[in-house]
Amino acid sequence: MTLAEDKGQARKAALGARKVAHRNTESGTAACAALLAALRPYFGQVLAGYMPIRSEIDPRPAMIAFDGPTCVPVVDAPEQPLSFRHWHAQAPMIPGAFGAAIPVDPAPIVPQVLIVPLVAFTRGGLRLGYGGGFYDRTLQKLRAAAAPVTAIGFAYGAQELPDLPQEPTDQPLDMIITECGIIYP
C-alpha cells in the first residue's frame, strides 16, 4: 500500500469518528474550555484560529474570549503557505476556499500561535489534514522565521489514532486540545 493510500484510509476512519463526535455538543463546549485555558499563557500574542467547515470542532468561542489580536487563514493558491487576515466576532466575512469564510478586510497579520484544524492526530504530535499541505507549508515557513510559533491541534478525542503515515514535510504539533484536556507530545 502506498503512503497516499495509507493516509486515505486514516482520513476515512478519522472523518467518520469526527462526524459522530461532532453530534455531541457537550464535547465541543468542553474542548473550547480546555482550549481557552491552554491559550491563557499566550494572551497578548497574535492568535490564528479558523472558521470551521463540515464537522470540524468550532474554536470560535475560545477565539472570541482570547485576549489579543486574532486572525484566520486564507488560501491564496494551491501548494502555497496560508496567509492570515485580522478577525473579530463582528468582522464582515465572504466565502473563501473550501467553504471557509474569510474576512473582507485584506489587512495581513502574522500569527504567533495557531489553532490548527485536523482530521486525525497521534499523542506524539503528528497531524493528518485534508491532504493539501497548507498547514504544513505554513508552519514550516513560520518556524523558519526568527520568532517562535506554537501550533495547537484542536480536535475531538475520537480523532486520535495510534499511528499515522508520515512524510518528511509533515509538521508536528506543539500540543493537542480535545474535550478530554491537553496533550503534550
The predicted-structure confidence for 65-85, as pLDDT tens digits, reads as follows: 999 999 999 999 999 999 999
Q: H or E segment at 114? A: strand 113-116
Given pLDDT bands bounded at 50, 70 and 90, which one contains residue 3? confident
Q: Are 112 and 46 in contact (CB under 8 A)?
A: yes
Max alpha carbon distance in the chain (Å)? 47
Neighbours of 1 (CB within 10 A): 8
DSSP states of 65-85: H-SS-EEEEE--STTS--EEE
Q: What is the C-alpha to C-alpha distance for residues 8 and 16, in angstroms, rounded to an integer?
A: 12
- Confidence bin at 120 (pLDDT 50/70/90): very high
Q: What angle do CA 44, 145, 134 make, to 5 degrees?
A: 90
The number of folded domains in the chain is: 1
The per-residue pLDDT for 59 is 97
Structural domain of 88:
3-183
Render pLDDT for 122-140 as a digit per residue (tens, 0 to 9). 999 999 999 899 999 999 9
Q: Assign residue 174 the CATH number of its domain.
A: 3.40.50.10420
Grid coordinates belonging to 37: 485555558
Task: Give the three cell numbers for residue 32.
Answer: 473550547
How does pLDDT run across 28-69, given as a tens digit for each residue? 899 999 999 999 999 999 999 999 999 999 999 999 999 999
